[in-house]
Structure 1
Amino acid sequence: MKYVIDTSVLIEGRISEMVEKGEIKGDIIIPEAVLAELEVQANFGKMSGFRGLEEIKILRRIAEKRGIKIEFKGERPTIEQIKLAKGGEIDNLIRVLAEKEDATLVTSDRVQHTVAIARGIKSIYVRHEKITPEKTKIMSFFTPDTASVHLREGVKPYAKRGKIGDLKLVVLRDEPMSLDELHDIAHEILEAARQDEDSSIEIERKGATVIQLRDLRIAIAERPFADKMEITAVRPIAKVTIDEYGVSEELKRRIVERQRGILIAGPPGAGKSTFAASVANYLMDNGYLVKTMESPRDLMVRDEITQYAPLEGNMVLTADILLLVRPDYTIYDEVRKTADFQVFADMRLAGVGMIGVTHATRAVDAIQRMIGRVELGMIPQVVDTVIFIDAGRITKVYTLKFTVKVPYGMVEADLARPVIEIVDFESKKVEYEIYTYGEQVVVMPVGEEKEEYEVLKNAIENKVKNYVDVCDVEVLSNKKAVVKIPEEYIPHLLGRKGRRIKRIEDELKVSIDVQPLKGKLGKVEAEISETAKHWIINAKGLEGKQVDIFAGEEYLFTASVGRKGIIRVRKDKDVGKAIRLALMKGERIYLHY
C-alpha cells in the first residue's frame, strides 16, 4: 500500500509517530510540492518549515530501521503556485499525485481531506493532537506573581516575579535550556494558539514569531534574527480597576466628559497597558463604545470590546475600517513609530476619542515624541492630556493648552508667538512651554524647572570651553542643545570623525548641534532712552537677531531684537536695575552681535 504525505501532517510531527506505532505500513511518498512548501517556509524563517523538514529526517531514520521505502515524487510547484499556496494550489498538486499513484492521502488539513474524499481519493484525516494553553509547558514556569518568563538556548531559565514596580529576577532551575527543548516548547505554543479560539499568532517573520496565548504575550526569536533561540513570555500579573491607580474624581470626569486625545506614558513594565485596559473598561461602564488597535493584541479588556490587529500588516488600513465603525474611543497600543503618531492624529482629528500607549521616561517626553511627527500647532488638538504611569501608579498628569503670548523669560511684547502650555493637572501651574524660536522648536521649562536647563547649559559651556574660548550655548530641551562657535574652530571641537563632540554628548547625555557663530563677534555702542516703566535700547539693523548686552566689559543679559529694531526692558526687573546702575556709574552699554 502507498501513502502520500501532506504538508500539514509533517508540520504536526504525527507521521513519524504513526509509522513507529505501525499504524502506517507501506511505501511512503513525499510530494516535491510538500518539500518545496516546507523549504520556502524555512527560508522565510517560519518555524513550521523547520519543523516539517525535521520530521522528514526523523521519518527517514525510522523507515530505514523498519525497511519502509520513502520516495520523493511529483511535480515541483512554480513560484506562482507557491505564492498561491493558501488558495489551494499546492494542495491540488498533492491530490493529483495521490490519485496518479493510487495512494492514500494522509493529512491533518480538514479541507484537504474533504476535497480528496469528494474527488474519490482515499484519505486518512489525522486529527490535531489537542493542546490547551493551560497544559503547555511554558505555563509550568509561571506562578501567580510571575510577570515574565525568559528561556534562552544554553542558559538557565529565569523569570521576573513580584509586584509592578518591585519585580525581581529569579533563576527557575540550574539546568540550562537546550535547543531541542526550546523547539518542543515553541511547537507546543504554536499548536495551542492555532487550536484555541481565544489565542492567535500575531506576527510571523523571518526568525521572529509573536503569539498571543490567552493572556500570555510570547515572542519566539531564532537565528538569523537572534544569535541563539529565545522564548520570552509576558503576562499581566494583575487585572485592576481605574480606582486602583489612584485616579482622582476630577481626572475621571475629564476622561468621560467628552472624547479626548490622551497619551498614557511611562517606562517599560510600569503598568501602562494594564492601566489602558482599565480605562477602556471604565469608558464602557460610562456608555462609550470602545475598540482597540494593537499589535500584538494583549490588552485584557471586556468581551464587549473588539480588539483589532494591523489589517494586512498595516495600521493605516485598520484605521480606515475603524473610521467606518466610528467607535467613541479607540485604545492604540502602542504609539511608537512616526506612522503610529500620524494614524493616531488622523483618527483624533476625525473626531474619534483616542488613548495611546507610549514609552517615555518623563511625562513631558511623551509630548516631545510628537514634535516633528504632528504639526506643532495641531498637537493640543490631537493630545490634550498626558497620564504618566510609574511602578503601577499615576505620578504626573499634564493638560495641554494652545495660546498666543510672549514666552516665559522673554520681555519684548512683539516677540509674542503661538505657545503650547503644558500644565500640571493637580496644581494648574504651567511647567513647560513649547514654541518655535527661529528654525528650532523649543521645549522650555517654566519656573523651577528652568534651573535644570541652566545647570545643563553651564555643564556644556564648561566642556566646550576646554577646546574653544568663545561659545554660545542654547538649551532646547533636556536632551538637545545648540552650540555656536566661530566657524574656524568647528573642526577642532568636533574632533576626528566627530569623536570629541560624541564624547561630550555621551558624558552629558544630550544631543549637541554645532553651528557657526555668525556675526556675534561684532560690537556696537547702544543708544539708551527711557519711558516711565521701560529702558528702550536702540538696535536698528539687528532686527530678529539675538544680541548680548554688556555694561563696559560686564555681561548683563541676552535678548532678541524686535521687529521695530528696539529692545524694551522693564525698569523694575533685575536686568532693568542693572542698566540703571551701569548708567549711574557712567558706563557705556554695548551690543555684541
Structure 2
Amino acid sequence: MLDKSSLLNGVSKYLERNVIYGNILIHRSLLRELEEESKEGMVSGDIALDEINRVKEMAERLLIGFDIVGETAGRDSNVVVRDYCKENGCTVVTSDELQRKMCDLIKVDCVLLQPLPDDKVVIEKFFDESTMSVHLKEDSRPKAKRGKPGEWEFVELSDKVISKPEMKHIVSDVVNSVRFVKGSFIEIERKGSMIIQLGTYRIVVTRPPLSDGWEMTVTRPVARRKMEDYSLDPKLLDKFKEHAEGIIIAGSPGMGKTTFAQALAEYYMELGKIVKTIESPRDMHLPSDITQYSKNYAEIGELHDILLLSRPDYTVYDEMRNDEDFKLYTDLRLAGIGMIGVVHATSPIDAIHRFVNRSDLGTIPNILDTVVFIKNGGVEKVYSLEMTVKVPSGLKEADLTRPVVEIKDFLNDKVEYEMYVFGEQTMIVPVKAGSLRGDSMENRLSKIVENVIPNASVSYEQGEYVVNIPKEEIGKFNRKLTSRLRKLEKKHNIRIRIRLSE
C-alpha cells in the first residue's frame, strides 16, 4: 500500500525498474486527502494525484493489480494506511523515515524507498556556470538570466514551448529530488505555491488559481564572495570591525544584497563572533558554524526569545519586509545584539525611510548606524547616522533648534540628508550643497563680499552662513551689498548673519 510520501518520491520509477513489485493498493482516505489538497491549490496534492495515474497506467502495462481499498476516515492518511496494513497483512511503501519507525513499532511490514543510484535533477540541464536563474512556465519557452548581479542578459534556452504536462513533470521531479539531494527541504507550501530549497537551488513554484499557469523560478548563487573581493575602503572595514552594530544592506532585487550579507556574516565569524541568521526562506549558503533560523517554522516571539537567550554577537536578518520583521530587528538591536538587516530599496535613503514610521526619531541612530547600498554586485554608497541638536538646514529662526539626525556619506563625512520632526511629521530633507549650503555657496558669498570688503571671510556654522567683517572695515558694508545678501537669502532659503571680528 502506497502512502503520500512514496507518491511524492515518484514511486512509479521504482515499479518500472522492478525495485518494488506486487499488487498496488491505494486507500480511499489518501485519495480523499489528496483531492481536498488539490482543490485548495496545494502543489503536492496535485503532484501526488498525477503520480497515482502514472502508477495505474504502469500497473496495467506490467500486468499487476491496482485497487482502491478501504473506507474514507477522518484521520490522518498515514495512520489509516498503517492500520489497514496491520489488519489485512499488507506492506506499507513509504519514503518517510517517521512512517517507517511507526510501522516498526506496531509490527507492520514496511518498505522504505531509497534514492536510485542514477537519480538526477531535471532542472540542472537548464544551468551552465554563468546562469543566475531559470524561468519556466507552461505554454512559454524556457528562459534564463545569465551573467552576474547588475550585468546579466535574459536569454531563451529553447525554441520549444513547455506544455502543461511537461511543466508538472518538472515540478514533480523537483519534489521527488528533495529527499536524496543533501541540504534540501520544502520550506513553505501554501495554496497555489511552494518554496523549495534543493541543494544550492532556491525554487518557487506557483500554480492556478494563484497564477495563470504552472510556473517555476529557480535561482542559484553564481559566486560565493569574501569581503576581500569587494575592495572596500579600509575606513569602512575598520567601521565593520569596531563600530558598526546596526547595519542595513539595501539594494534593488538581483543586485547582490544577500551575497554581500553572506560575506559579512562569514567575516564576523572569522573574527571570532557568534553569528546567526533569520531567513524566510533559508537560502543563504553559510558555514555550519553559523546557525540559520527559518521564520516560517517559528513565531516571531519564539525567535525573539531564542536570540535574546543565546546572545549572538551578530544576527543577519535576510529579506525584511513587514512590520513584524522591523519590530524584531529593532527589539534585538536595542537589546544590544548586533544586527545586519537586508531590505529591498531603490536608493540608500529609501532604506532609512522604512524605519521612519516604525521608530521614534531619537532611537533611529541607535538602531541604524550604517546603511550599505549595493548596486551591480558592489558597494555603491555607505551612510552613517548621527544625532545632534541644531537648527535644521533651510530653517532660519534660532528658536527652531531641535534634535536632528544627520545622514552622512561615510567616506567623505559630508551631510547629505537631515531627519527631524516638523509639526507632527518626521521629515528627511536633502542637504543640497549647490543651493542651500556647501562649498559652492560659501565660494559664491565670499566673492560677493570680498569684492567690497577684501579682508572679510564667509563660513558655514550651525545651519547659517556667517560673514566675518573686521571692525575697521565695517564702513564698507553698504546698502548695495546688504541688498544682494538679502536676495540670496530669499532665493536659496538660507540664513546669512553678519559678525564683526577683531
User: 1:398 corresponds to which residue?
Assistant: 383
Question: 2:12·2:58 contact (CA, 8 Å) conserved in 1?
Answer: no
Matches within 5 A, 1:413-452: 413-448=398-433
Matches within 5 A, 1:41-440: 41-63=37-59, 70-78=66-74, 81=75, 85=76, 90-129=77-116, 135-258=120-243, 260-310=245-295, 312-440=297-425
Which structure has more RCO (C-alpha within 8 Å, separation ≥ 6)? 2
Indicate which of 4, 12, 19 corresponds to 1:7: 4
Give the unaligned 5+ runs of structure 1: 452-531, 533-553, 561-567, 574-593
Question: 1:136·1:189 contact (CA, 8 Å) conserved in 2?
Answer: yes
Cα distance per residue 1:440-479 (max 9 Å; x no partner): 221111133768xxxxxxxxxxxxxxxxxxxxxxxxxxxx
Matches within 5 A, 1:488-567: none
Question: 2:141·2:161 contact (CA, 8 Å) conserved in 1?
Answer: yes
Aligned AA for 1:43? K
> 1:389, CA displacement in angstroms?
1.0
Question: 1:131·1:191 contact (CA, 8 Å) conserved in 2?
Answer: no
> 1:558, CA displacement in angstroms?
11
User: 1:496 corresponds to which residue?
Assistant: none
Change (3 A) 1:197 1:44: farther
Q: Partners in 1 of 2:206 and 2:290 — Cα distance?
A: 30
Q: Give 3-state SS (helix, strand or coil) of 2:356's partner.
A: coil
> 1:332, CA displacement in angstroms?
0.8
Q: Partners in 2 of 1:569 and 1:137 — Cα distance?
A: 68
> 1:17, CA displacement in angstroms?
5.8
Q: Partners in 1 of 2:142 and 2:492 — Cα distance?
A: 60
> 1:210, CA displacement in angstroms?
1.2
Change (3 A) 1:176 1:380: same
User: 1:30 corresponds to which residue?
Assistant: 26
Question: 2:8·2:172 contact (CA, 8 Å) conserved in 1?
Answer: no
Aligned AA for 2:49? L
> 1:117, CA displacement in angstroms?
4.8
Q: Partners in 1 of 2:209 and 2:270 — Cα distance?
A: 46
Cα distance per residue 1:484-516 (max 9 Å; x no partner): xxxxxxxxxxxxxxxxxxxxxxxxxxxxxxxxx
User: 2:457 corresponds to which residue?
Assistant: none
Aligned AA for 1:32? R
Number of positions where the alignment pairs a residue of Structure 1 with one of Structure 2 = 450
Aligned AA for 1:367? I
> 1:23, CA displacement in angstroms?
5.6
TM-score normalized with structure 1 length: 0.70
Aligned AA for 1:429? K
Q: Partners in 2 of 1:251 and 1:22 — Cα distance?
A: 59
Aligned AA for 2:84? L
Cα distance per residue 1:181-220 (max 9 Å; x no partner): 2222222222322333422222211111111222221111
Aligned AA for 2:222? I
Q: Partners in 1 of 2:309 and 2:434 — Cα distance?
A: 44
Q: Partners in 2 of 1:22 and 1:259 — Cα distance?
A: 58
Q: Partners in 2 of 1:365 and 1:107 — Cα distance?
A: 50
Question: 2:92·2:109 contact (CA, 8 Å) conserved in 1?
Answer: yes
Question: 1:408·1:446 contact (CA, 8 Å) conserved in 2?
Answer: yes
> 1:113, CA displacement in angstroms?
3.9
Aligned AA for 2:419? I
Q: Give 3-state SS (helix, strand or coil) of 1:318's partner.
A: helix
Cα distance per residue 1:199-248 (max 9 Å; x no partner): 22222111111112222211111112111111111122121221222311
> 1:157, CA displacement in angstroms?
0.9
Q: Aligned-pair RMSD on alpha carbons?
A: 3.0
> 1:572, CA displacement in angstroms?
4.6
Q: Name the % identity.
A: 40
Q: Partners in 2 of 1:348 and 1:308 — Cα distance?
A: 17
Q: Partners in 2 of 1:559 and 1:250 — Cα distance?
A: 35
Change (3 A) 1:323 1:195: farther
Change (3 A) 1:381 1:227: same
Q: Partners in 2 of 1:284 and 1:67 — Cα distance?
A: 59
TM-score normalized with structure 2 length: 0.82
Q: Partners in 1 of 2:497 and 2:13 — Cα distance?
A: 93
Q: Give 3-state SS (helix, strand or coil) of 1:54's partner.
A: helix
> 1:357, CA displacement in angstroms?
0.9
Q: Partners in 2 of 1:569 and 1:171 — Cα distance?
A: 59
User: 1:465 corresponds to which residue?
Assistant: none
Change (3 A) 1:248 1:128: same
Question: 1:410·1:559 contact (CA, 8 Å) conserved in 2?
Answer: no
Q: Partners in 2 of 1:388 and 1:278 — Cα distance?
A: 15
Q: Partners in 1 of 2:16 and 2:249 — Cα distance?
A: 55
Q: Partners in 1 of 2:276 and 2:102 — Cα distance?
A: 38
> 1:291, CA displacement in angstroms?
1.0
Q: Partners in 2 of 1:318 and 1:49 — Cα distance?
A: 31
Aligned AA for 1:116? C
Q: Partners in 1 of 2:91 and 2:266 — Cα distance?
A: 53
Q: Partners in 1 of 2:378 and 2:102 — Cα distance?
A: 56
Cα distance per residue 1:133-180 (max 9 Å; x no partner): xx3121111111111111111111111112322101111111111222
Question: 1:363·1:396 contact (CA, 8 Å) conserved in 2?
Answer: yes
Question: 1:146·1:159 contact (CA, 8 Å) conserved in 2?
Answer: yes
Q: Partners in 1 of 2:316 and 2:20 — Cα distance?
A: 52
Q: Partners in 1 of 2:193 and 2:117 — Cα distance?
A: 25
> 1:342, CA displacement in angstroms?
0.9
Question: 2:193·2:206 contact (CA, 8 Å) conserved in 1?
Answer: yes
> 1:347, CA displacement in angstroms?
0.6
Q: Partners in 2 of 1:372 and 1:428 — Cα distance?
A: 26
Change (3 A) 1:238 1:55: closer
Aligned AA for 2:73? P
User: 1:584 corresponds to which residue?
Assistant: none
Change (3 A) 1:251 1:131: farther
Change (3 A) 1:50 1:326: same
Q: Partners in 2 of 1:235 and 1:105 — Cα distance?
A: 37
Change (3 A) 1:415 1:149: same
Question: 1:349·1:382 contact (CA, 8 Å) conserved in 2?
Answer: yes
Question: 1:328·1:352 contact (CA, 8 Å) conserved in 2?
Answer: yes
Cα distance per residue 1:45-86 (max 9 Å; x no partner): 3322112212223344455567765443334232xx3xxx4x
Cα distance per residue 1:529-570 (max 9 Å; x no partner): xxx9xxxxxxxxxxxxxxxxxxxxx9x95999xxxxxxx975
Question: 1:9·1:15 contact (CA, 8 Å) conserved in 2?
Answer: no
Change (3 A) 1:5 1:145: closer
Q: Partners in 2 of 1:140 and 1:282 — Cα distance?
A: 34
Q: Give 3-state SS (helix, strand or coil) of 1:195's partner.
A: coil
Q: Partners in 2 of 1:125 and 1:277 — Cα distance?
A: 37
